[in-house]
Structure 1
Amino acid sequence: MMTKFSVISFCLLLAAKVSAQITIANGTAIVASDGTEIVAAVKGNVSNGSTYDFANANLRITLQPNTIDQTIGGNLVVQSLNLVSGTNTIANGTLTLKEQIYFNTGLLMPGSSGKILYTGVRENIHGDEAGRFDDSYVDGKFYVLHSGRNFFPIGTESIGFAPAYLDGNGTDEVAMQVFGEDGGFLFDPTGNIGEVDVTRYWEITTANLAGLDSKVTLATNGVVMANPDLAPVVVQADAPGTHVENLLSVINGAEITSRRSVTKPIVTVGGSREVELVIHDIITPFSTGDPNDYLVIDNIEKFMVNKVTLLDRWGGKVHEWNNFTNYGPPYLNPDGFDFKTLSPGGYICVVEYGDPESGMNTKSQMVTVLKVN
C-alpha cells in the first residue's frame, strides 16, 4: 500500500512541475505497483539520477510547446513519448522507448553521450495528425531492437525527413543515421554505376550487419540525379570516399529498395546504366587458352538469380546451370561440366535472369561450337 501511495505522489509531483525542471534526486527509489500509469506533461527539462523500477508501470511523457531546447538527462525508460515542443529535445543519457512515439513538432536528438533506443514495432511510430514527419523526426542515430521490418524516422535539418527501413533479427541493436552531405564516393564511370547522389548518405551501425541478411529501403524525396537516363539503384560502400557496389533496385513511389541484402555500413542512391546481357556466340573447347573455350555471358553477375540452359539443335537439354558464373582462370566450373564433350555444331543458349520479386527476363542466342586446332 505504501508503494502505491508513493507512485501517486510522484504523479502529482510531475503534474505540478509542468513548467519547470523535473529532478529525481540521487538515492531516491521509486517502485511502481502493477498497472500503474504515470503521465507527465512537461515543459522544461527532464532529469533522472535515481534508482528506479518502472517495470510494472506505464511512464508516458508529453513534451509541451517550448521556445528553447530541452534535455532528457540520465537513463530513462518510458512507454510513450509525445513530441509537441517545436524545439530540439536532446537525450543526454540512454532514452529507451518501449511502445509508442508521436512525432508532432520538434526534433529528437541524441546528445554527445546520448542514445535513443526503440524496442516497439514500426506501426507504433506516428507522425502528426496528418501522418506527416515534416517537422519532427530523429536527427542523429536511431537504434532499434526488434525482429522483422523496422522503420527509421530519421533526417537532418539540412535535407529534412529522410526515412529508411531495414530488417532486424531481434538480437542485435541496429542504428541508422542520415547525413546531409556528399560522401565523395568513388566509382568507375565506364562501368555500371554512372552517378552517385551528392546530397546525402545513410550509415548503418550494428554489431552484426551480415547477420541481418536484410534489404534496405531508402527515401528518394529530394534526390535529384544529374543524368536522367540513369536508373536509380541502391549502392553500398565501406565508408565515405570509397568505391560503391551496386545492390540493384525496386522502385515504389518515393522509395527505393535494394534487390540484394546490404553487407556494408554505408548506403546511398546511385544511377545505373541499362545492363545488357550478352551471350557469346562461339565456343572453342578444343583449343588451348582461348577465352571462348567456355560459354561466356557478359554481365550475368549483375543479376540476383539466373538459370542457363544449353539446348541442342532439336531442343533437347544438353546441360543446365543454376546461378551460372563466368569461368575464370584456371577455367574450372564447380559443377565439373566439360565443354569438350560437346560435338561441333549449333546449339541454343537460353538465359533466365533477374529477380523473382521484380520480374525475370529471358534471352536466347544461337551458339556455335567450333573444333579449332
Structure 2
Amino acid sequence: MIETPFTPDLVRGGGELARSETGVRLHRLPLPYREREADAQFRMVERQPSGIHLRFRTAATTVVLRVHSTRVSYRGLDRARGMVDVLVDDVLALRHSLVQGDALELDLATGAATPRSGDVDVVTAAGMPPREKTVEFWLPHNEQVDLVALHSDAPLTAIPDPRPVWVHHGSSISHGSNAAAPTEIWPVVAARAAGVQLHNLGFGGSALVDPFVARVIRDRDADVISVKLGINVVNADLLRVRAFVSAVHGFLDTIREGHPDTPLLLVSPIFSGIHEKTPGPGAFDPEALRTGDVRFVATGSPADVARGALTLEVVRDLLERVVADRSGDPALHYLDGLSLYDAEDAGTHPLPDGLHPDTATHLLMGERFANAAFAAGAPLRR
C-alpha cells in the first residue's frame, strides 16, 4: 500500500494542520486566536472539523484512513458517535461510524470529568471502481480528530477546487449539532446543492459576535460570506440591545476591511420556541436529564425585554435594522432565519432538544438556504 502524507492541498474546507502526538491535528480557528482569545469551550469546538474533508483523484480501489478521535460524553446520556462519509464522484459510497478514540466523560450532576483512552479508528473504502475518480473523506463534524495515516493501492493526487469559496459563521446549528453525518449538516447540504466550497466557521456555543472571529473572516479568502448571529447571544444572556447592535456593526466593519465588496449575507436565528419571547440564560432541563434526555429551557424573564434583554424576536428586528442602516453597502443583505425554519416547521419537524435541528431538518434548512442564498438572482450567487 502507498502512504500519502497529509498536506494542506489534500485537506479542503479551510482547516489548519498542526502536528500532534498521534498525527496531524485539524483546527478551524488559526493561531494566535485559538490560544489567546478562545475560551475552553471554543477551543474544544474549533477542533471539531465540521466541513473539512480530504479530496483527491485516484484510480485506487481501496483507500484506508486512520484517525484518532477525541470526544466529550455525558454520563447517563446516549450521544451518537461521529461519522466519516466517503464520497466517490460526489456520490455517498461509505458511511463509517467511529467506535474508538479518547473520551472525556462529564457528570452533569457533580461536574466531575473522567478521561477515557481509546484506539485508532480505521476507515476502509474498498471495492471502488478501478478508474480515475474524485474521492472525498468528510470528517466528523462533532468529534475532534487527528489524522494518523492514509494508505491506498494506487497513488492519490490532491486536486484544486475551482468552485467559489463560501465562508460561513454561525452557532452549533451551523456547526451541525444533532445531524447524524458530516455531509448532512445544513451548510454542507447547501454548499453541495449550490456548487460552492464551504469553509465552515460554525462553532457550537460560540457565535458570540467576537471581534477576533470577524478578523478571521476578514483575513480568509472568500468569494461570498454569510454570518448567522443571535441564538448564542440570547442563550448566553451575553448582551443587551445597545451593546448587541454596536457589536454587530463592528463585526461587519471588520469583515469589510478585508472584503469591501464581497457579497455578505447577515442571517437571523431560526425559530426556537423557548427563546422567542423569553431571554436567556439557557440551561439544561433537569427533568429531562433525570430521564436520560437532553432538552434546553430558557431561564430569563420576559419582563426584562423592556430593559434591553434579548430574545429571538428582538434579535431578528435588530439585525434587519442593522442591514437597513447600512444601505450604503449594496453587497450586504439580510436573510430572515424564519425562512429556513419557522413556527409552522416546529409542528412538523420539532427540535428534539428545543434548540438544535435533527438530520431531516438540517436537510430541509440546507435546501432552503441554497435556494434563498445561491439561486439565480439571490444574494450569494456568483
Structure number with the higher strand fraction is 1
Structure with the greater alpha carbon radius of gyration? 1
Is this a same-fold pair by TM over 0.5? no
Length-normalised TM-score, structure 1: 0.25
Structure number with the higher helix fraction is 2
